[in-house]
Amino acid sequence: MATTISLKNVEKRYGALDVIRGIDLDIKPGAFTVFVGPSGCGKSTLLRMIAGLESISDGDLMIDGGRMNDVAAARRGIAMVFQSYALYPHMSVYKNLAFGLETAGYKRDEINRRVQDAASTLQITDYLNRKPKALSGGQRQRVAIGRSIVRDPKIFLFDEPLSNLDAELRVQMRVEITKLHERLGNTMIYVTHDQVEAMTMADQIVVLRGGQVMQSGSPLELYNEPDNRFVAGFLGSPK
């Protein structure tokens, strides 16, 4: 069963600054959900709170019905893919994929099986012996995603993973990430400020502004029936 994530009146304050303001949200299990909104609206903060990389000031984060507020990041079953690939430059692709599993104490056979599976899913089998500097941007980003896949997480979180890539590659990687979701069927949340990415990739779009949810629904619902002018203007529908 795919994982359910639910936020109940979640808030984040940095001192006197209210960054996330009373968010109530159910993430569809097994769906590809996109958080979209202008720069500074709180997308990364919200994602980092779900991942456990940022504390929650108020409210509840529920995963599969259990309260996660005080559960350590490593125990939430979540993998996060960032915009900067942060691969280990001195290690081969194979080693980059295997490293986290080695430190977690997995056996060599199991590590090999998982690395080969991930490499095959991402079509990077031919590059396993290369160092990151001998890879293109798209190949590096696939390795970064591969490092998440080998951990077999329940949930994938992506924070603007394609914004460093050129336009052509970005379009190609969108398709690949969508395929990855179809293949794995995990609950995934993808953050972007790019409306086209949101409209083309999402099963569920959550439009954020000023730390609040403006609207949540399918791309078609938001396009055809925007709740307010902001959503209409942001997603480019005529209302």
CB 231, CB 216: distance < 8 Å:
no
Q: Which one among 19, 34, 49, 205 touches ligand ADP, defined by CB under 6 A?
A: 19
Least distance from ligand ADP to the Cβ atom of residue 49, Å: 9
Q: How many CB atoms lie within 10 A of CB 205?
A: 25
CB of 46 to ligand ADP, least distance (A): 7
Tell the smallest beta-carbon distance from residue 39 to ligand ADP (Å): 4
CB of 152 to ligand ADP, least distance (A): 27
Taking the least distance from each CB to ligand ADP, the nearer of 97 and 208 is: 208
Q: Which residues pair with 158 in a beta bridge?
A: 81, 190
Binding of residue 14 to ligand ADP (CB under 6 A): yes
Judged by CB under 5 A, the number of residues near Mg ion is: 1
192 scored as a contact of Mg ion (CB under 5 A): no
- Binding status of residue 55 toward ligand ADP by CB under 6 A: no
Phi/psi region, residue 201 (left: phi>0; alpha: psi -120 to 50; beta: rest), is alpha
Stretch that binds ligand ADP, among 2-10, 37-45, 110-118, 128-136 (CB under 6 A): 37-45
Single-letter amino acid code for the residue at 78: I
Convert 116-131 into a string of H (helix), E (strand) and C (coil): HHHHHHHCCHHHCCCC
- Answer whether 226's CB lies under 8 Å from 216's CB: no
Site for Mg ion in 44-83 (CB under 5 A): 44
Reference 5, options 128, 155, 127, 115; nearest CA is: 155
| Interface ranges with ligand ADP (CB under 6 A) | 14, 17, 19, 37, 39-45
